[in-house]
Amino acid sequence: MLLFTGLPLFLMELSLGQYGSAGPIMVWKCCPLLKGIGIGMLLVSTFVCLYYNVIIAWTFYTLACPSRTLCPGRVRHCYTQHFTRVLGVVNSKGLSDPGPVKWELAICLLVAWIVIYLCMLKGIRSSGKVVYVTATFPYFVLFVLIIRGATLQGSLKGVQFYLTPDWKRLLSAQVWNDAASQIFYSLGIGFGGLLSMASYNKFDNNVIRDTLVIAIGNCCTSFFAGFAIFSILGHMAWKKNVPVGKVADTGPGLAFVAYPEALALLPGSVFWSILFFLMLFMLGVDTLFGNMEAITTAVLDEFPVLRGNFKKKCLFLALLCFGFYLMGLLLITDGGIYWFTLIDFYSTSFGLIIIALFMCIGMTFFYGVNQFCQDIVDMVCRCPPWCTKLLMYFKACWVFFTPVLLLFILSYIFVDLYNTPLRYGSYIYPRWGRALGVCMGTFCCIQIPFWGIMAIWRESGTLKDRFQKAIQPLNSWRAASRQNDAPPEMVDVPYSVNLADADFTSQEWESNASEA
């Protein structure tokens, strides 16, 4: 999935954002027919921002009361009770019974959004400086946890469990779907954040080098982090005299129950747990930066007056964060975890894959894969020859391998949605809840045909002529690629202008009139 979907799509988003110097919506001046892709990306980022800061709120809550969450003795019972208290699943019967808001979590969520607001106040300049800390601190924590885990008895069993493959599971479509989810989430593909960040790059930045370094480094980091997790889970399994698979968990349970429970078995458990939850906080902030940057960049592109007025920009950002806070209160009620799981599952499910698929197909066959490769060559022309040669590999992926793999994953997701009911623990989601989740994902990807039809409708001529004009780049797209803003009087029209016979007849008539 990294080789045939992650790397090609990552390069496509970085190149598109860097060449056009625009956010997720404005960048589609290269092909107005595909504007809905950018809007769909923003909707996905909106859903992610809505629930992802709740994870940071949980982290704040855990850090604020280590004495209650790290009690000695009955560790499993203590952690289960704490996590249940945080999620509030005791007094709720399901989606239809959310119950009251947990005021402790409401305060933590408010603090989390204030932190995000302050970090993004000055745009990419402030968030870029914050990332120096939030991106490097997790490496330090992982390194420390790996060293500590290696000294524990039973850690080798955990590492062995982590590294021993079960080759038969490659025949399961679920494994491929999980791999795609990991790549999309860890690289941030399809959320619009890559387009926004790349729009601030210099035009001649080596985007191919960045793709290789970031994507491969990201996956190596994930592999590296596995040793920190499973070495300590192996120690926990050894103490309980059970297989490692029995203590491993998935989802929020791994971060807030299983792993902290294992840390609580170590000497100085409070210190190790605080270090771990600080790392979770840093990772959560990094994720929100990317999604919030996509939203703010797109809005500032559409309303340039906000970009030039710092007070108005601060007000907009404050209203945006406060709006997310109000909507996020639903997720910290007694039944908030049920809504959290619903949004988490459906907001980045088939909608995200469809957005990435149409981006790949649109740039390859509408904008033109040869033109797109030439755009990349124009940006990296001063780079080593191997960069341009590597484009042949990416071109093959964009044309064939990436769309085919995405279609395979998409087919499995639809079959899985139909056959497998959504669960949280023993709770089975009702049909209306699943229908709401499907509508959530559909709302994101339906923007593509809607805005495509709007782009065709705005043009003139026959349906074929309108379609041809709708896939042509606008004049301001070429102006942006030369790093020159379009003059205020410039009108966005298709890059190529087709003259009708009447135009030539009119010129001939005027010529004859002047001779007469």
**How many C-beta neighbours within 10 Å does residue 1 have?**
18
Residue 283 annotated as part of some ligand binding site: yes
Question: How far is residue 348's CA from residue 514's CA, in Å, rounded to a whole number?
Answer: 65
Which helix (H) or strand (E) element contains residue 358? Answer: helix 350-361
What distances in angstroms separate CA 382 from CA 147, 161, 300, 385, 484, one per listed residue?
A: 42, 46, 32, 9, 20
The closest alpha carbon to 398, from 367, 423, 420, belongs to 367
- Look up residue 305 and give its two tokens: 């007056």
Residue 286 annotated as part of some ligand binding site: yes
The single residue listed with the structure tokens 């340039």 is: 304
Contact status, residue 346 vs residue 441, Cβ threshold 8 Å: yes
The closest alpha carbon to 347, from 35, 2, 41, belongs to 41
Q: Which amino acid is at 242?
A: V
Output the CA torsion sign for 242, 244, 250, 254. Answer: positive
Strand partners, 427: 424
Cα–chain center distance at 318: 22
Which DSSP state fits 382?
T
Task: Give the burial string for 19-31 (b: 16+ CB within 10 Å, else e).
Answer: bbbbbbbbbbbbb
Residue 378 annotated as part of some ligand binding site: no
- Look up residue 217 and give its two tokens: 């480094």
Residue 349 annotated as part of some ligand binding site: no
Q: Annotated binding site for Na(+): which residue ranges?
A: 186, 218, 283, 286
Q: Annotated binding site: which residue ranges?
A: 186, 218, 283, 286
